[in-house]
Structure formats: structure tokens, C-alpha cells
Amino acid sequence: MEYSVGILLLCLTISSFLDYSLACQGYKLKVHYLRNCGDIEKNVIKIQENSTIKITKDCQIVPNSCAETAGFKTALVKYQVSRNNIPILKNQLDACEMVTKVTADMRNMMTLFGLPNKCPIEAMKKCDEGKTADIDKFKKFISLAVGGPIKIELKIDHDNGKTCLESEFEVVK
């Protein structure tokens, strides 16, 4: 379970903020879209749609992004990851419980993006301004993403509303 959560967090973190850029080992990432979905005005968590991230040749992530939340006490996440419109991972998890059990690598990634490590979450807006994170440990997994568009859909039920986020990206050599 922790492995699938780690992969989901890595995919979401990368896809949430990527534009077309050169990645480590010569792979290119192209984001088709990242968007809030559902009743956008009522989403508890909203991501700024012009967010970007650059992945350098030396496997560094450099984000430029903002997200805001109305605050919440609970977050039950239903997620689906698809490749070429075929579901490859589908599950649900309690995000408030999960963030307390992530690996050190995932915790570092969460810290980079200003993600909290426990609930409740206060209302806030977080922006990243050129912080960097080393993803060298994960570069061996980049080739697994080659082979068609990858779509991530998140539907989150909170104590005070809902959040819907979706992203689609491709990794090409």
C-alpha cells in the first residue's frame, strides 16, 4: 500500500506542476492539462492552473506553483491512474492518516511543496518560489511512465466539502 501511495504522490507531485521540459536521462515531460474539476468554485483545495515545474538534466525539480485550501479536518481520497485510458491503479485512502506514515523521501517532497504532515489543515495559500528537490533516487522509475498519456483523477471528500483535481501528462524519450 505504501508503495502505491508513494508512486501516486510522486506522479501527482510531478504532474501537478509540469510543463514541457527536459528531464533527467533525456526524458521529456509534456503536460496536457492540470485542472480543478467538478464544482470548481466549491473545491476545498484549488491549484493555480498556470503552475509549472522544471526538471533539470541533473534530476532536480524546480517548482513555481501555488495552491490554496479553505481548510479541512478530513480528506478521504478516491484516485485513479490511467494510461491510454486504461485504469492501472485505482484505490482510496485516508490522506490525513497517510501523511503521518510516508517515507522520508516522500516527506521531503511534501515539505518542498509546502504540504502539511497532519490534519486538521488550516485555510492557507502556499506558493513555491524556485525551491529545488533532488529526484535522482527516482530516475530509474521515469522509463516506466513512457508509453502513452497518463491521467490522474482525484476526488476528495472533506468534512466541509469536496475537491476534484485531474491531470494528464506524457513522458517521452
Domain ranges of the chain: 2-172
- Distance in angstroms (rounded) separating the CA atoms of residues 147 and 18: 18
pLDDT band at 19 (very low <50, low <70, confident <90, very high): very low
β-pair partners for 146: 171
> How high is the pLDDT of residue 23?
58
Among 1-15, 37-51, 75-89, name the one with the lowest average pLDDT.
1-15
- Distance in angstroms (rounded) separating the CA atoms of residues 170 and 4: 19
The whole-number average pLDDT for the span 43-49 is 91
Q: Map residue 164 onto helix, strand or coil.
A: strand
DSSP type of residue 37: -
The answer, yes or no, to whether residue 115 has pLDDT greater than 70, is yes
- Distance in angstroms (rounded) separating the CA atoms of residues 24 and 98: 29
> How high is the pLDDT of residue 6?
45
β-pair partners for 150: 83, 169
Q: What is the pLDDT of residues 54-113, one digit of tens each?
A: 677 888 777 777 889 999 999 999 999 999 999 999 999 999 999 888 888 888 777 766
- How crowded is residue 20: how many other Cβ atoms within 10 Å of its Cβ? 11
- Distance in angstroms (rounded) separating the CA atoms of residues 77 and 31: 22
Under CATH, which number does the domain 2-172 receive?
Answer: 2.70.220.10
Q: What is the pLDDT of residues 155-167, one digit of tens each?
A: 999 999 999 999 8
Pairing of strands 28-36, 45-47: unpaired
Q: CB of 37 within 8 A of CB of 56?
A: no
Q: CB of 46 within 8 A of CB of 70?
A: no
